[in-house]
Chains A and B, each alone.
Chain A
Amino acid sequence: MTLSISLTINGQPKTIALDDPRVTLLDLLRERLYLTGTKKGCDRGQCGACTVLVDGRRMNSCLSLAVSLNGTEVTTIEGLAEGDDLHPVQAAFIECDGFQCGYCTPGQIMSAVGLISEGHAGDDPERVRELMSGNLCRCGAYQGITEAVLEAQRTLKEQKERDAA
């Protein structure tokens, strides 16, 4: 059975023909659209490496069937920077040493973007750690990750205040 779905990926509308409904969003992104920035760690919802935004909400792309997301807007790590200008969360991860090998990093960054827009952490590092617990880091860069999230949140808030003024 061939199924046709429409997705907006990093701002670009796409119509995708799926020959098989078994394809997860993660495999669609990596294997068919060659957006390999999103990583596959466990493929079972247990590590967060595959985190992307679907309609602005962070989710595990490994457990979502692509066909079920028909009509949604997907943002991946490739969609964050504007040309050479890094997204504030990307910049903060570099600034705060938020990674070592980098494998978990796209998922961490997408999760951090989601966390900041959800707005439940305030400036409490404990809440940041709790709300980032869905992203494991085998290198143990957690200290830097927590600092990066708080730093990026401050930057984004300042940006917003400047834009409003």
Chain B
Amino acid sequence: MNRFDYICPTTVAEAVAGAAETGSAYLAAGTNLVDLMKIGVARPQRLIDVTKLPGLDAIEWSPDGSVRVGAMVRNADLAYDLRFAENFPAVAEALLSGASAQLRNAATVGGNLMQRTRCAYFQDTASACNRRAPGSGCDALEGDNRLHAVIGWSEHCIATHPSDFCVPLAALDAVVEVEGPQGRRDIPFESFHRLPGDTPEIETNLAPGELILGVRFPAEAARFKAHSRYLKLRERTSYAFAVVSAAAALDLQEGSIRHARLAVGAVAAKPWRIREAEEGLIGGEPTTEAFAKAAEIALAGASPSGDNAFKIELARRIIVRALALAAEGTPRAMPALPGSPFSSASGVSHVA
């Protein structure tokens, strides 16, 4: 790990001013940043510890039913907050399907949004990687790329975004509140993360030095609470990143779909919201045929970036199954294995 200076500001203004200095990085729980610093992938000159900033660790409800979740709220505290989980069950399920209990106790909302890809070449400083070292090439193109992107990738980078939490956030029209040297602004969740294009090193639309203050959920996002699921396929049952995942949310009225939300995870460099598939579902009945059609639309533009064509079919099936589970209804209690295909409620087809 390189040497660095450490400051621990006690106001947002102080933190933002501190970050204006080049080579600075915000430190939250450190579960991603400290890891990357140990292996030499992140080499900040100065850490700005944001864990002591006041007012960023609250879950605040507005009278209209919208909610603001502070950037320092820990992943576990959000997932187990009763009111939050009742209104946004797919978000709670996604959070509980991620990492481990220890990591969720530490990891923050802001840090989760900003976590870096798990591409093995990105993490290995001896490999070529445009995301880590712009212009150096991409060893994943001809390497071990089973788990890499099938949507929105470019010849410059085929990495995926690893977050579970971010998938339902994209589906539910969350908004990221940030503060930077130019003041405060909102970034709609869908335009928060970026596809690689020819600048994979620019991962988000956060400007340099901008601090995430929190994430807002609009009141409308709670209309899906009775029919929401997050489904995550992993290479082992727990404590593993997604191979593919999906957040599905339906608003059903007298047997037909009034509103639908769908986003897929681990297929692109950003959580992948699919509005065309949502639109196709609206007004129809929640049938397997309708869900299969939505999945076709969702993956119409997908193509393998390497040895990963299987992820397209897998994503199709996960979408159909997540929608079917959502149609069945949000489980009364959080499943013992959150997000797991091995924990499905009885009655739903195990084969999509």
Contacts and interface: CB of A to CB of B under 8 A. Distances in A.
Name the prevailing secondary structure of the A interface residues.
Answer: mixed
B225 to A, nearest CB: 20
Contacts of A58: 101-102, 105
Interface stretch (B31-39, B61-69, B139-147, B302-310): B31-39
B27 interface: yes
A24 interface: yes
B106 A60 contact: yes
Nearest to B336: A126
Contact of B336 (A45, A114, A124): A124
B102 A59 contact: yes
Interface in A53-94: 57-60, 63-65, 67-68, 70
B308 to A, nearest CB: 23
Nearest to A136: B239
Interface stretch (A95-103, A127-135, A156-164): A127-135
Contacts of B76: 57, 118
Given A24-B34, A120-B80, A134-B101, A1 B6 contact: yes
A64 B105 contact: no
A65 B105 CA distance: 15
A132 B238 CA distance: 10
Interface residues of A, number: 36
A63 B106 contact: yes
A131 B35 contact: no
Contact of A64 (B30, B80, B337): B30
B100 A134 contact: yes
A48 B1 CA distance: 21
Nearest to A119: B80
B99 interface: yes
Contact of B102 (A24, A43, A134): A134
Contact of B101 (A20, A67, A70, A111): A111
Interface of A: 1, 3, 20-22, 24, 43-45, 48, 51, 57-60, 63-65, 67-68, 70, 111, 114-115, 118, 120, 124, 126-127, 129-135
